[in-house]
Structure 1
Amino acid sequence: MPLSGEAIRMMNYVDDVSVTLRRVMALSSSLTPEERKRVSDYLRQAEPSVDKVLAVLEQK
């Protein structure tokens, strides 16, 4: 079954998020341990979380 334009657009958003996360990983080594902790806490508290988005996408 072909994908709708909206589904393709959403997959592109996921690609954008992945690129951003790769940048965060690449730059993390330049941060101090305290800065890494603050960024990780910030990411952990980000809303909506990946788990929440997955739950919505997997609803039947």
Structure 2
Amino acid sequence: MPLSGEAIRMMNYVDDVSTTLRRILALVPTLTTEERLRVSEYMGKATPNVETVVAALEKQ
């Protein structure tokens, strides 16, 4: 069954998020320990997060 345009668009968004995360990972070594902690806390509080989106997608 072919994918709808909306599903393809959403998959492109996932690719964009993955690209952003790769950029973040590339910069992690340049951060101090304190900066890493701050960014980690900031990301942990971000909403929605990956788990929220995956749960919505898996919901029947």
Normalised to the residue count of structure 2, the TM-score between the two structures is 0.98
In the TM superposition, residue 44 of structure 1 has moved relative to its aligned partner by 0.6
Q: What corresponds to 1:25 in structure 2?
A: 25
Question: Secondary structure, in 3 states, of the residue corresponding to 2:26?
Answer: helix
Give the number of the structure whose residues are more often helix, by fraction. Answer: 2
Q: What corresponds to 1:6 in structure 2?
A: 6
The CA RMSD over aligned residues, in Å, is 0.4
Which sections of structure 1, spanning at least 5 residues, go unmatched? none
Question: Secondary structure, in 3 states, of the residue corresponding to 1:29?
Answer: helix
Question: How many pairs are equivalent?
Answer: 60
Identity across aligned pairs (percent)?
67
In the TM superposition, residue 25 of structure 1 has moved relative to its aligned partner by 0.4
Which sections of structure 2, spanning at least 5 residues, go unmatched? none
